[in-house]
Amino acid sequence: MMIKNLVFDLGGVIVPLNRVACIRAFNDIVGYKDFGEVLRTYRQIGFFEKFETGQISARQFRQIIRTHSAIIRDGKPKIVSDREIDYSLNCFLSDIPQDKIETLLFYRRDYRMLLLSNTNPIGMAYCRKLFKDKGYDVKELFEKLYLSYRMRLAKPDKAIFIKMIEDSGIVPEETLYIDDSPANIEAGRALGLHTVLYNPKEDLYGKISEYIEREQR
């Protein structure tokens, strides 16, 4: 069956991730020494997972972060600002490579383009800025955005895939899903989606075109 729809993960596929930089920022700026225990590459855990599934707000997330802060200045605990917390969290996200933008622009001409991401309001606001820095609104590149904190679900829970499929009206057998998480890929494949497990070091355009060409033979 011909591929008509492309569903992209965001972090690790379009936006490069830098876990080391994020953990270092929380340590040095916020004074949260063990942030690496909740920051995962794919699906977060603990209060961070609650943040990414919309169970707590950005304000509540920041308050929890402050309870872990151990910055002392002039002999007194320093109250970490919202800006410092947001900056540290966004160190997880790197600039979008130009070739990723060009890939999205190329495929949006002939395919329905959807985004399915485990994310949070702070990180997503920063991602919107990263797209703007490249000259595009994220909604210019994707028909619909399916974001975990809005849907109150997270990959690899099959429910988030089912909601996306039902809301968008896509046919799984006509859809190629690209993600860098093996667990997410497995969940998508179980629901009938074509899948590509992406390695961030690979050429995104080449990986997609190779799969589509193979399917259309």
So which residues are the catalytic ones?
9
Greatest extent of the chain over all pairs of C-alpha atoms, in Å = 70
As to burial, measured by CB atoms within 10 angstroms (0-12 exposed, 13-18 middle, 19+ buried), residue 131 is buried
- Written as one string, the DSSP assignment of 113-152 is EEEEE---HHHHHHHHHHHHHTT--HHHH-SEEEEHHHHT
- Say how far apart CA 63 and CA 186 lie, in whole Å: 35
Beta bridge partners of 77: 72
- Say how far apart CA 194 and CA 174 lie, in whole Å: 8
- Structure tokens given for 173: 């057998």
Contacts from 129-138 at CB under 8 Å and sequence distance 24+?
Answer: 130/15, 130/93, 130/95, 130/96, 131/96, 133/95, 133/96, 134/96, 134/98, 134/101, 136/101
